[in-house]
Structure 1
Amino acid sequence: MDSIKVFAPATVANVVCGYDILGFAIDEPGDEIILTKNDFNKITITKIEGDGGKLPKNPEKNVVSHVIRLFLEKVNSTQGIDIELYKKMPLNSGMGSSAASSVAALVAINELMGKPFSRQELLPLAMEGERIACGNAHADNVAPALLGGMVLVRSYEPLDAFKLPYPKGLSVVSVHPHVDVPTGEARKIIKERISLKSAVQQWGNIAGLVAGFCTNDLGLVSRSLEDVIIEPVRAMLIPYFYEMKQLALDNGAIGFGISGSGPSVFALCEKKDIAEVISYKIKELLNQKNIESESFVTKINDEGARVIN
């Protein structure tokens, strides 16, 4: 095999109360990458589309070429690779754009080189792509993009990430308002110290959310989708966040929150028709406020990154 094409999905990180430890993949949008072996032992980026010219083609500065280089070093290979990256999701959206690119690249190069690593073994390399992208090697985007489904990162040192069961019929509304909230800046405003009272409340919500997913208890999931630490700070960066949240809950959402670091938001819904109504109403609200947006109504993606051909 000399060439391969891979798709990796967008993700919803944190899932409201699980900062840096919970995330799930969604069916769309996502990124596509084509890798082709070359004979001159160099990693080159031959094409990037869909980024509006924002991403560097210099292989020393791009997260895709960075993780491919790390992979090849790990297998002691000097194989040359030509990269084509097709961004089919918005940058700096809170939907795991850099994670999707890194994961697609790693799954592709792993396939090209004979699959020396499992998906779990690729995860630390994908996290290094996040370090380049935003300064922090977190796994709550790359893990679900790589493994699919709902993922819990129990520990970073040592790394311990695994898939959780979840109600399979859930629908997800993802809305991306066209406002700028860089991931690095969104991380900087988070408080480094919190009260024990807030910590206890957050731990209870995380435990309740995991228990609700594992037992298909949507009432428990709904009660647990509450963030008393991160959301109150980051919500200030997202125009009309609380108006969108109230609108979603009033129209039947199980829960609502910020997708990753924002500005995208998401709602979990029991049925697709509820999700479609919420998607329409949130877009309508933003349109009234003269904020352009795009929305997606999908299922949770249980497969993760996949080979297209």
Structure 2
Amino acid sequence: MKNEELKIFAPATIANVSCGFDVLGLALDNVGDEMLIRKVAKKGVTITKIIGQDLPLETHNNVAGVAALALLAETESDFGFEIEIDKRIKPGSGIGSSAASSAGAVWAINKLLGNPFNSTDLVRFAMEGERLATGVAHADNVAPALFGGFTLVRSYNPLDIISINTPSKLYATVIHPQIEVKTSDAREILKTNIPLKDAIKQWGNVGGLISGLYTEDYELIGRSLEDYIIEPIRSILIPAFDPVKNKSLNAGALGCGISGSGPSIFALSKGKETALKVAEAMKSVYEKVGIEYDVHVSKVNKQGIKEL
């Protein structure tokens, strides 16, 4: 068997991006998991090692295992795969921990098989990992991990993923308080009915954000990074959310919101210098809160998953 193993980097992601609940996401450049996927004679999928986090090795209880099995169910390969995960994204951090493992597994297996599936197929398989992790097969984290850059999930049925232009000077700053917010819990508190006036504002912002990304109009991007529907409810789960947002905007961020289901908070900025100032502003709030945190400053990753 040639090309028997692949070592890959699977990026962290920011989902929702304020106004795009379950449909918008972007990939980060310098935060992510490393994975080793090996072709073996024994059929099926085995998780042989996980370092960094205490996660299940049983294939059916592991998001990477479940996603990989979904892919293999549509092939007729007479061999199997072993997966090792160096888990550098903490589960429950709000930056796509389960998505990185799910997307990384299917991307690498597809490559080892000679790329029989396209990126949209891979999103579909990786969504099964998300279903295991959160109870909902959402694509707004796995899509940017697999496609790179910004992605829009235009439709779930049928699945239709659109790559969106990524402005060259756009940087993300993410602060991750060391508390866990489970996506399943964060979904339970959401309202199922929303006022029409809020929905109209949100649609306008999604359109504005997409337009701003294509035209590289940073001010329009900033004006569109407003969430009238999810953030007012979920922000109560995140310590010092409002002060972090206010200080980030004062430091020059284009916009600031909840990354995924939280507790991470993200800001987008024009240029690295501003993104670093925003990082200092976020830290200044959390120094007083007394909760440990990590801060990441990253260019938007246009490539997505890559071979190491």
TM bracket, shorter-chain basis: over 0.9
Aligned-pair Cα RMSD in Å = 1.1
Q: State the percentage of identical aligned residues.
A: 47
Residues of 2 paired with 1:154 and 1:43: CA distance?
A: 31
Q: Which residue of structure 2 lines up, in the alignment, with residue 104 of structure 1?
A: 104
Q: Which residue of structure 1 lines up, in the alignment, with residue 267 of structure 2?
A: 267
2:46 maps to a residue whose letter is T
- Which aligned runs of 4 or more in structure 1 are off by greater than 3 angstroms? none
Unpaired runs of 5+ residues, structure 1, are none
2:200 maps to a residue whose letter is V
- Choose which of 18, 21, 28 in structure 2 pairs with 1:19: 21
Q: Which residue of structure 2 lines up, in the alignment, with residue 88 of structure 1?
A: 88
Q: Which residue of structure 2 lines up, in the alignment, with residue 41 of structure 1?
A: 43
1:4-61 CA-partner distances (Å, limit 9, x unpaired) = 111110111011001001110010211111111222324221110111x2x1011121
Q: CA deviation at 1:145?
A: 0.3
Q: Which residue of structure 1 lines up, in the alignment, with residue 184 of structure 2?
A: 184
1:178 maps to a residue whose letter is Q
- Answer yes or no: is the 8 Å Cα contact 2:19–2:205 preserved in 1: yes
Q: TM-score under structure 1 normalisation?
A: 0.97
Which structure 2 residues correspond to residues 250-289 of structure 1 after superposition, within 5 A? 250-289=250-289
Go from structure 1 to structure 2 and tell me whether the alpha carbon gap of 1:251 and 1:21 turns closer, same or farther (over 3 Å shift).
same
Q: Which residue of structure 1 lines up, in the alignment, with residue 213 of structure 2?
A: 213
Go from structure 1 to structure 2 and tell me whether the alpha carbon gap of 1:216 and 1:42 turns closer, same or farther (over 3 Å shift).
closer
1:153 maps to a residue whose letter is V
2:227 maps to a residue whose letter is D
Q: Which residue of structure 2 lines up, in the alignment, with residue 303 of structure 1?
A: 303
Unpaired runs of 5+ residues, structure 2, are none
Tell me the secondary structure at the aligned position of residue 9 of structure 1.
strand
1:200-231 CA-partner distances (Å, limit 9, x unpaired) = 11111111111111111111111111111000
1:165 maps to a residue whose letter is N
Tell me the secondary structure at the aligned position of residue 23 of structure 1.
strand
Tell me the secondary structure at the aligned position of residue 60 of structure 1.
helix
Residues of 1 paired with 2:203 and 2:43: CA distance?
A: 49
